[in-house]
Structure 1
Amino acid sequence: MQSSIGSRCNVRRLVGLLSLAVLIGFGALCLRAWHQTWLSEAYLPALQQAARERPYDASLMALLGARLAQARRYNEAARSLERAVALGEDNPELWLTWAATEAVRDERNFAWAILMAGMQHPQDAPLLQAALQRCHALPPNTTPLALATAISPLGPQSLVAHYARGSFLNFLADWYGHLFPERSGYATRKAWALKRPGDPTVQRLWGEALLRDGRYAEAVLVLQRAYRLAPKSLRIHRDLADALYHEGDVGKAGLEYEACLKEHPNDLASLLGLGRVALDKHILQMAIDVFRRATTLAPHNPDAWIGLGRAYFNQQLDLGRSLQAYQQAVRLAPDRTDFYPYYADTLRATYHYREAEQVLRRRLQEAPYEARTYFLLAVTLQEVNVTPARLQEAEGDLRVAVELEPQNAAMLSALGRLLQEEGKAEQAIPFLETALKLDVHDVAATIALARACRTAGRMREAQAAEKSAADLTRYLAQVKSLQDAIQQHPEESILYRRLADLYLSGGEPDKAQNYLQAAELLEHNQARALQGLRALQNATFNTQTLNRR
């Protein structure tokens, strides 16, 4: 009898252990499944944060690279995809997307090498071989985008589909999205948009998802459709203006923001948007007026103070107010660093070099791949407490910036000029020449190139650069004269049109278009321009003393 009781106890223990094992296994299965669902639902900023926290998660890196490529952030995408391969990920979609990303960056030889490396894996070879055949059929002068399309005709979407299938727990994300639509995830919104093309709210949610992911051209199309479905919706109208702004259609975005404000004069988001447009279009008094109004409406909103700081800095009449605005933004949002490069500009301009350096170093801790911050730190290192060690650090920072943004003329110019000043003429010349191919109006780079060529014994090139520098100096003096006139008479749209004509004659059509759009925006709202002029007069006779440190 005791034996029977013991046997039953053993059976119960065994059943209990088996049940526990099943529960643990099921729990682990659910955790893995939820991770897959989360990957499909996460927005790009969340994926980036997760990648910083889990840098050895290969599948996360692969998906992040694909989503960055969808947002046309190809430099970051290439780094993520390369890391995914280094961590052991291996599938044909990954190799194709990585190669296409390098191709669109005009790294053709590297793209070819990636395809050849992928073909060493038998399971990947057929698709990669087909890509090579498509590339062989292209003409020699194929554009980077056409080459990328030939490599991966479906683009990064094929890789996204591979890693963002979700799991059997997808229904939970859909259920949660129906309960809280504004908190719904990326994949849920995409599925809703496909199923309900005539629902303006659903289309607005999907458009906002695309905005959050930085896919602005797609967001414009979706939000235009949503706005046609609901033309009275302020939120959809404002979202459309945001999408137009980020896509680069700044003039049209400004008109849309003004249309929103006509119906809703105290809409803060529209005010902030219009302020950004005014900054971009150099209508600085309008920008100051708009951002001051925003700080009055929402004194605890850091974006309003950041915009005001930028506006005062760009105007260059009252840098003390710019500094105060940024300091208020820091108090309101002590954990934010996204505006620190702008803040550093004002700190440097008000002789707070040590604080500027600290701000930029902190920003690099948060954003280690932000080229502009490396660039500004390098400039700051050359301005104060200059030592050989700091100059060496500045050169290193500029090289990192150029590596991150190899087509940035200002960064190439700064590196070339520093190398020329250090007596490294042969190293400086290629950077200066590339900078001038991208921006033929960089007079500082032209002068540095002339000096570097003389040092290197290339006299004919030096003489050509010197002549070009003289011509540029005259042209830029005319530009400066009109810019000064605009600052004195910011309400005169004819001055903006004259500057646009000058830029057009000087071969700068983008700047010409910018000032033409500014003139149109100014003419569209003459009353705001006149109010801005009064603000300019007040600023001219009521400036704050700067602390020269």
Structure 2
Amino acid sequence: SLRDQSPKDAEVRHWLGFLLMRHERYAEAAREFEEAIRLKPDYVEAWTNLGNARLMSLSLEGAMEAFRRAVSLAPTNPDTRANLGHAYARMGRHAEAAAEFREAARLRPQDAGLWNDLGCSLLALRQAVAAADAFSKATALESKNATYWTNLGIAHNEGSQPGKAKRALLKAVALDPRKVEARVALAEAFIRLKDYAAAKEHLAQARALNASNFAVLYNLGLAQWRLGNLPAAVEAYEAALALIPKSVETLTALVQLYPAVGRLPDALKTCEVLAELRPDDASIRARLGNLRWSAGDKKGAVEAWEDALVRDPKRSDVRLRLAAYYLEVADPDSAERHYRRLLEREPANAIALNGIGLVLDLRGKPREAIAWYTRAAAATPSMAAAWNNLGVALEKTGEIAAARKAYRRALQADPKCIEAKRNLERLGP
């Protein structure tokens, strides 16, 4: 076997560890490197390879310790710095990784790979502008490297520079037409530029190269949606969902699309899944209520809306839906509760002001209702319903001339207001 000779010499031990690494026997290799270091404590290459062996066997803390020791022994060696940077990156410690890659690139500025490594760490830190600068240096040094151009494009996308991203990614695709990551990033740039047809074209090519890439399918769904190709959008999103069944973004898109293609039951079922995944999300509960209402499940809709308000009491749209429902079922107390809670935050909300008027009308108090309808009409003069309701209340109190005037104002606000037109015709000139 490789170990029969039991060598004592540090260089031989190091060589033996290297051979074991070549055979993917990382734990044994690490022991040989450790023995080489015992014999020669300042052996930089042994410390470096010990780090690599530990890294390959997923002993990340041990790898970090070895790489740090190598850096302390050879602080001006860019390779030791880069190795430590890679270990930091593997552990998600991107700020420390960036510091090592930056120093390595300073020591060897003509190494495009080091600038690319630095850019990747900066991108992980969401420092898109600095990342783009690093990737630009990499592309300047190696202009034929499609990966570097792809990373530059991704950085520009992250930095909200889709025009620059497009230029970089077109170069990446020209260098490597089969690079799926580049086509996806290019499509994202086109989507940001609102060129959805171009995005669809590149995503279709990417799908032909890799039909099981989530980013390809998700973005293809988005591009098709923006182009108005709703069935195609649904197909792409469903394919994406098959890959990642709990993707909240994909589920959300399908919840919005299914009703538009006549698949309300699927929308409802999908929204139920979303509600389980995000139990504290008021928006999902509100949408679930809307879908249940559309499906004829009024009790379920009210339950979902009330749940939404528990999670976010500031949802005005939900309060208005609930208040309208309670008026419909002749529960003025519940309706008034929601309208008044809304008016605490939005005292000039015309719909809520009009709603209080409806509550008072339901209780047989038209004179009090008149004051609320008047406030609603003053808050939003274009609200025909408020003027019409005011006219009805004025009729109930015998103020016919004022009622006629209110109906005319309703028709000025909305000439198609059928109720006001009928009421005015009924009263006569």
Would the aligned equivalents of 1:186 and 1:209 in 2 still touch at CA under 8 Å? no
Residues 360 and 391 of structure 1, relative CA distance in 2, 3 Å threshold: closer
TM-superposed deviation, 1:207: 5.1
The amino acid of 2:253's aligned partner reads A
Equivalent position to 2:243, from 379, 401, 413: 401
Would the aligned equivalents of 2:237 and 2:250 in 1 still touch at CA under 8 Å? no
- What residue is the counterpart of 2:257 in the other structure? 418
In structure 2, C-alpha distance between the alignment counterparts of 1:328 and 1:362, rounded to whole Å:
16
Q: Give the 3-state SS of the residue equivalent to 1:187 in structure 2.
A: coil
TM-superposed deviation, 1:271: 1.8
Would the aligned equivalents of 2:27 and 2:54 in 1 still touch at CA under 8 Å? no
The reply to whether residue 336 of structure 1 matches residue 176 of structure 2 is no
Residues 343 and 194 of structure 1, relative CA distance in 2, 3 Å threshold: farther
Equivalent position to 2:155, from 282, 289, 311: 311
The reply to whether residue 383 of structure 1 matches residue 226 of structure 2 is yes
- What residue is the counterpart of 2:213 in the other structure? 370
- What residue is the counterpart of 1:195 in the other structure? 32
Would the aligned equivalents of 1:375 and 1:401 in 2 still touch at CA under 8 Å? no
TM-superposed deviation, 1:324: 0.6
- What residue is the counterpart of 1:547 in the other structure? none
In structure 2, C-alpha distance between the alignment counterparts of 1:452 and 1:182, rounded to whole Å:
64
TM-superposed deviation, 1:249: 1.8
- What residue is the counterpart of 1:270 in the other structure? 114
The amino acid of 1:372's aligned partner reads A
Matches within 5 A, 1:217-256: 218-219=59-60, 221-231=62-72, 232=74, 233-256=77-100
In structure 2, C-alpha distance between the alignment counterparts of 1:323 and 1:225, rounded to whole Å:
41
The amino acid of 2:162's aligned partner reads L
Matches within 5 A, 1:15-414: 185=22, 187-197=24-34, 198=37, 201=45, 204-205=48-49, 208=52, 218-219=59-60, 221-231=62-72, 232=74, 233-316=77-160, 318-388=161-231, 390-403=232-245, 406=246, 408-414=247-253
Would the aligned equivalents of 1:204 and 1:223 in 2 still touch at CA under 8 Å? no
Residues 454 and 313 of structure 1, relative CA distance in 2, 3 Å threshold: same
In structure 2, C-alpha distance between the alignment counterparts of 1:298 and 1:183, rounded to whole Å:
34
The amino acid of 1:239's aligned partner reads N
Would the aligned equivalents of 2:154 and 2:165 in 1 still touch at CA under 8 Å? yes
The reply to whether residue 433 of structure 1 matches residue 275 of structure 2 is yes
In structure 2, C-alpha distance between the alignment counterparts of 1:320 and 1:441, rounded to whole Å:
35
The amino acid of 1:303's aligned partner reads T
The amino acid of 1:228's aligned partner reads R
Residues 394 and 303 of structure 1, relative CA distance in 2, 3 Å threshold: closer
Q: Give the 3-state SS of the residue equivalent to 1:300 in structure 2.
A: coil
Measured against aligned partners, the alpha-carbon deviations of 1:483-506 in whole angstroms (never above 9, x if no partner) come to xxxxxxxxxxxxxxxxxxxxxxxx
Unmatched tracts of structure 2, length 5 or more: 1-13, 38-42, 317-429
In structure 2, C-alpha distance between the alignment counterparts of 1:219 and 1:393, rounded to whole Å:
42
Residues 434 and 248 of structure 1, relative CA distance in 2, 3 Å threshold: farther
Residues 430 and 252 of structure 1, relative CA distance in 2, 3 Å threshold: farther
The amino acid of 1:236's aligned partner reads T
Residues 368 and 462 of structure 1, relative CA distance in 2, 3 Å threshold: same
Measured against aligned partners, the alpha-carbon deviations of 1:378-412 in whole angstroms (never above 9, x if no partner) come to 22232224143x14413421431333xx3x43334
Q: TM-score, normalised by structure 1?
A: 0.45
The amino acid of 2:89's aligned partner reads Y
TM-superposed deviation, 1:312: 1.9
Q: Give the 3-state SS of the residue equivalent to 2:181 in structure 1.
A: coil
Would the aligned equivalents of 1:344 and 1:357 in 2 still touch at CA under 8 Å? yes
Residues 462 and 472 of structure 1, relative CA distance in 2, 3 Å threshold: closer
The amino acid of 2:214's aligned partner reads A
Deviates more, 1:366-375 or 1:323-332: 366-375
Return the structure number with greater relative CO, CA threshold 8 A, min gap 6.
Answer: 1
In structure 2, C-alpha distance between the alignment counterparts of 1:183 and 1:332, rounded to whole Å:
37
TM-superposed deviation, 1:279: 2.4
TM-superposed deviation, 1:343: 2.3
- What residue is the counterpart of 1:23 in the other structure? none
Would the aligned equivalents of 1:302 and 1:332 in 2 still touch at CA under 8 Å? yes
Residues 381 and 452 of structure 1, relative CA distance in 2, 3 Å threshold: same
TM-superposed deviation, 1:178: 6.9
Q: TM-score, normalised by structure 2?
A: 0.55
Unmatched tracts of structure 1, length 5 or more: 1-176, 474-549
The amino acid of 1:320's aligned partner reads G
RMSD: 3.8
TM-superposed deviation, 1:417: 3.7
In structure 1, C-alpha distance between the alignment counterparts of 2:171 and 2:273, rounded to whole Å:
39
The amino acid of 2:128's aligned partner reads L
Identical counterparts, % of pairs: 17
Would the aligned equivalents of 1:193 and 1:202 in 2 still touch at CA under 8 Å? no
The amino acid of 2:145's aligned partner reads N
Matches within 5 A, 1:486-525: none
